[in-house]
Each structure stands twice: as C-alpha cells, then as structure tokens.
Chain A
C-alpha cells in the first residue's frame, strides 16, 4: 500500500489518479487581451473565481479591469461590475466600452458580496468583476472563508468568469490568483493605453485548473 500523502498537493494528485472520472475537465477561458495573461495562463477561467491582488498603489488594477471591459465588448459579452467602494471612473473608459456594462455602486463590502452572489448565478452574464481594492481592512477581515466558496459554487453552474480585485491575497476559493506588484510612475500617464496593457506583467500566484489553450505549462 502506498504511503499516505504528506501535503495537499500530493493528496490532490492521489485523488485525481484514483478517481479520474471525478476530475473536472479543463475549463474554457475568457481571453483578456493582456498578452502576458493570455499567453501564460490562457485567459481567465470560466465557471471559476480569479483573484487579482493589487498589493501596491497604482499597480494597474483598474487598467486590468478597463482592459477586461474592452475585451468583453469586442465579444459582446455582458459584464457586471460590482464596485465595492464606488470607485470606478467611467470617464476613464471609452463610451463604447461601457454599453455592455452593468455597474453596481456599493458603499460597503457586505452588499457587494450579496450582489455578486446574485449576479454570479445569472446566465446572461459573461463576466462579473467584484472590486474590493479600496475596501476597509476591517470589512475584509470580517468576510468568512465560506463566502468565497459559496461564490465558487455559484459560478460553477454558469458560463461566466468571476474576477475579484483585492488589496491582498484573500479569496481562498480562487482557482487563479494573479498579483500586480509593480507601481507605475507618473510617466505612464503619457503612454498609450495599449502600450500599458502590453507591458502589464502580473505574477502568477496560484492556478488550480489547467486551461485548454495552455494546459499546465505555467510560468
């Protein structure tokens, strides 16, 4: 008899070998238009939670969200943006990149989570973004882990990708976790948006599901 697994990764490996039929098929992905993300992890996994950690100021979190809006606009997908601290600036986007967006302006984290839970179950949406980047630390600490798993369960039944923007690694159920760590300087205000998007380089912190375009070849 084989020795018992010593850590979580080994346990997952063991389970996938014993019960291959129970292992979920690779998720389809939503292409972001951000070369680094699409080439490295194959886009954002659908029916899964992606966490985008913005750990430094001006690291490009909002640029990432704006690029998601532009990419989904090209595919005419409906997007819900749950703004946990009412900080989204539509004026920073093209008017045409907003016609498919449903902007939910929240003042606190609790209603934002409830709204996300509702939207994550809607079959009409292709992407839901929950922005908690500026949420007070006290409110973030109060979110139970169970909440993240409920969101994961909610999106599993749909065909949408759920992106949660946080100031630190927080979402325990995230299938994909990217982190933006490099603060941008004032000189970037003169650069074209496309150039900035091309130079974005989030670091991969976690990837639990392989995506069809790249499999497990992850940096």
Chain B
C-alpha cells in the first residue's frame, strides 16, 4: 500500500508560508524572469476576484488591484520540500521525492486499519508547518497520487485553489465513498482519500487526470472519450495498435499504473536550514517567523532520527556581507519546539545589528535523548530550560560578565574572584573548615572610596570620604600585604588598617603608595 502527500500549487504555497502578513489577501505567482510574465498560480482569494491562470500582470491587477504579486522563490521551495519530506518520514522510512509538492510513501507493514489516521495525522502536521495538503492511499503510487489530487483540501488561511481536478469529480468521489472508497470523515469533505476499489474510483475521473498529450487528448475527445473509465473500457491492444507506446502508457496510467519500486530518499544526516531573503529584514518578527518555520521542520527531522537537539547555532548574514553568529548550548537536550524557539527568541530580543538581515542559517546539533534518571538526593534544576531562559534575560539586562557563580581565585590578591556558569547539580556540602571564619564579612566599596585622614601625634583621628566620615575611635594595624612581586605588571603592595568610627561602623582602611582608600565596611 502507498500513500501520497500532495501540496497543490506547491510553488505559491512555498512562497506564502514565509510571509505571514499576506494571510487571506489575494496573491498570485508569476512566471520567473521572462519578458512577459504570466500568472502560473493563484490562491482562492485571487480566484474569487477574477484572476485567472495565464493572465499578464496588468490584466491580473486590473481585475484585482490589491493582488499580491510574487515570483517563485527557490529557497522557499527547498524549505517546503524539506518540510514535506520530514513529514513523510514520520509515516515510513521509505519515501520518494516524486515531484515538487508530491511525496510518495511506501506503507508496507503498516496497520491497514490505521492508514487513514496516519495520513490524516501527516496532513495535520503539514498544516501546522504552514502547508495545505491532501493525501491519498491506494495500492499503487499513481493511484495514490490520483486520490491525493482528488481529495478536498481543508479550508485554511491562505487556502489555494487547484486547477485540477474539478469540483465535480471530487464530488463524485464523495458519493462513491459511501459505498466503497473511504474518506477520513464521511460527513464532510476530507483531506484523505483511501482507494479500496480502484475501478470505481478511476472510472469517473476526467481524462486529464492521466496527463495525456495535447494531440492524444484531442483525438480521444473527438471519439467521445472523456473519463478514465471511457478509456479503459476500450481494448488495450486496439489503443496500442492506433497510438503506439504513447497510447499504451496513457492506457496504463488510466488503469492506475503499476506497483513500481520507489526511489528512496536518504534521511537527512545534518539538521540545518537556511534562507536568503529577497527583501532584507529589519525587524524581529519576520525573522522569528522564519526561524520558527525552520525549527518546526528540523524538530520533525530530529524526531524521525530518534535524536534531540543539544545545541543551536544560527548565523545572520547582514546587508554589508558581515555575519553575526551565535551558538546556544541548551541546558538539557530537547525536542520541544517551544523551548527551542524560546531559546532563540530570548537571545534575539536583545540583539541589535547595524545593517538589515539578508540571510539566515540555523543548525541544530543532534544528540541521543537523555535517559539518565536523577538520583533521589540530587538537587539538579527543576526546570533547566526555564533556568537557562531566566539567565539569558538576566544577562541581557546586566551583561554576561556580571552574572554567575563566584569562584575564589588561588591567590592572595584582594577581591580576586571570577564568575563561572552556575552548576547544573549542586554538590553535597564539604566538611567543616579546619580554620573557621572570624569576624564580620566585608561589604566592599567598588571601587574603593578615596579617603582623607587627619592625624594627631602620628595617629589617624578623622576620616573623610564621599560616603563616610567621622572621628576614628579605634584602629588596628597596619598589616602590610603584597603579592606577585616577581611580576612587574601584576605586583601589588598595600597597608591595611581596621578602624572604628566614634559614631559607629567598622571599616577597612588601606594605603596604596601614599594614597588612602576605604575598601569596605565590616557588616
């Protein structure tokens, strides 16, 4: 059994899914860079406004002034194709990239009773990633394609109309379905058609469904042959005798084709997406929209590879050809789309670039899912991703070098401390120290306050700084301290006193060279 996922008007869908602003507005795709550009695809809003295939741009705009005109975008088509294949891989490891917007899936071994449900899930998944699709299930790839083309597509935002098959033939299928061929829902037009009786399914389909050549189509029409059923009712040998190999191929296509082997697609080994923008991006919203589209597809690909994302790496190419790269290591590997998106969103919120963005690339580093169970007494993070997001927001506010776990450096240099990343798991407490701490902790003034002193008989009796001043009632010291004397650029030396002011307060006073400072308050 085979299934086909079909994206009608693939090129137009691919372009529109990158532009959320278009929504329900009429839109048309024009043929590429040729002198006389013609409409090659339109959405339902444009069709309702009177725009037709083959019109020139002035004709189309005359019919529909607010028409959005777009040209085919190969990068968007590549991304849409990758999304289609990613969804195809969720059904089976053996899939074929049959044509643009057509993915054929070998469902050999799948539970026959759940085929429609599987196909419907795939259609829903494609809807989630911004693609409107239909699916067909049949005994041959070609028959499944006919079924997919025949199925009704769900009316969604930006729904597209098809040039074939006509609504009349689809309606015929709906009627047939009550007897043999089944739809996902018997009460409403379904996006999935399961062909269980090929003859009755094919019989009412128009001859154009089998793609006859113009010449052959004309001859058969003059004979009164208008449906596939009319053609297959004719003896095959007589068709071959009159039309040769071309006639035989058409007859076989009209009969539903044969059970051919698929050309399998190799599952992606790297998980990346990139897009160059026709118009440079200057604000965050469209960039986030594209990145979300990327993530939706990459998450699907990772899912089918039984992997999760450990790291996100994204690169922005700016208008002036400079690049901005960022590598985000996730606190815990995950496949949760919202978490991945939030990680990107949080970092991009605080990003400012000098120039507008011309292209974007996103790469996920895969890893195996974490299966380790945390120990009963381990105190790891309850919500690692929430914690990472909080840290990112805090860093955006105060700067990344102002947040972290303090770690004392192995030196006697005063205030020698560095900030390291917070520990994922807090280790058990160490044993009590051999030499317990003495006295009040210091509350530092950073930088130390410049101090002026008054001396009486060689002893400091009055202290004045910007914040603190008063009579010195008690003093202890001095204690000379120095270090790194063997390194000219790092050598330090100073004298320290502990002083108490008459009005209250114990402070550390220090002298560096001939200058006095108040280093902190014992508190």
Contact = CB atoms under 8 A, between A and B. Distances in A.
Contacts of B499: 186
A46 to B, nearest CB: 15
Interface string A168-190: 00000000000000011110111
A78 interface: yes
B336 interface: no
B520 A186 contact: no
Interface stretch (B61-69, B87-95, B314-322, B420-428): B420-428
Contact of A100 (B426, B439, B442): B426
Which 3 residue pairs spanning A and B have beta carbons closest together?
A57-B505, A92-B441, A183-B504
Given A60-B440, A63-B523, A99-B427, 20 more contacts: A56-B505, A58-B505, A59-B523, A61-B523, A63-B440, A86-B444, A87-B445, A90-B406, A91-B415, A95-B407, A95-B408, A98-B407, A100-B423, A115-B398, A123-B382, A124-B384, A134-B443, A183-B505, A185-B474, A191-B439
A194 B435 CA distance: 12
Contact of A62 (B427, B436, B523): B523
A64 B522 CA distance: 12
A74 B429 contact: yes
B407 A58 contact: no
Contact of A54 (B414, B444, B523): B523
Interface of B: 379, 381-384, 386-387, 390-391, 393-394, 397-398, 402-408, 414-417, 419, 422-423, 426-430, 433, 436-446, 467-468, 474, 476, 498-501, 504-506, 520-523
Contact of B438 (A60, A90, A189): A189
Contacts of A89: 415, 441-444, 520
B523 A57 contact: yes
B404 A102 contact: yes
A190 B440 CA distance: 9
Interface in A114-158: 114-115, 118-119, 121-124, 133-134
Contacts of A133: 443, 523
Given A94-B433, A188-B439, A87 B444 contact: yes
Contacts of A184: 440, 506, 522
A185 B441 contact: no
Given A58-B522, A59-B523, A119-B390, A99 B506 contact: no
Contacts of B522: 58, 184, 188-189
Given A90-B406, A99-B426, A122 B386 contact: yes
A147 to B, nearest CB: 15
Contacts of B383: 122-124
Nearest to A189: B439
Interface in A55-99: 56-63, 65-66, 73-74, 76-78, 86-96, 98-99
Given A57-B523, A90-B406, A189-B506, A124 B382 contact: yes
* B383, B405, B443 interface centre (most CB from chain A within 10 Å): B443
B441 A62 contact: yes
B417 A90 contact: yes
Contact of A190 (B382, B416, B438, B504): B438
Contacts of A122: 383, 386-387, 390
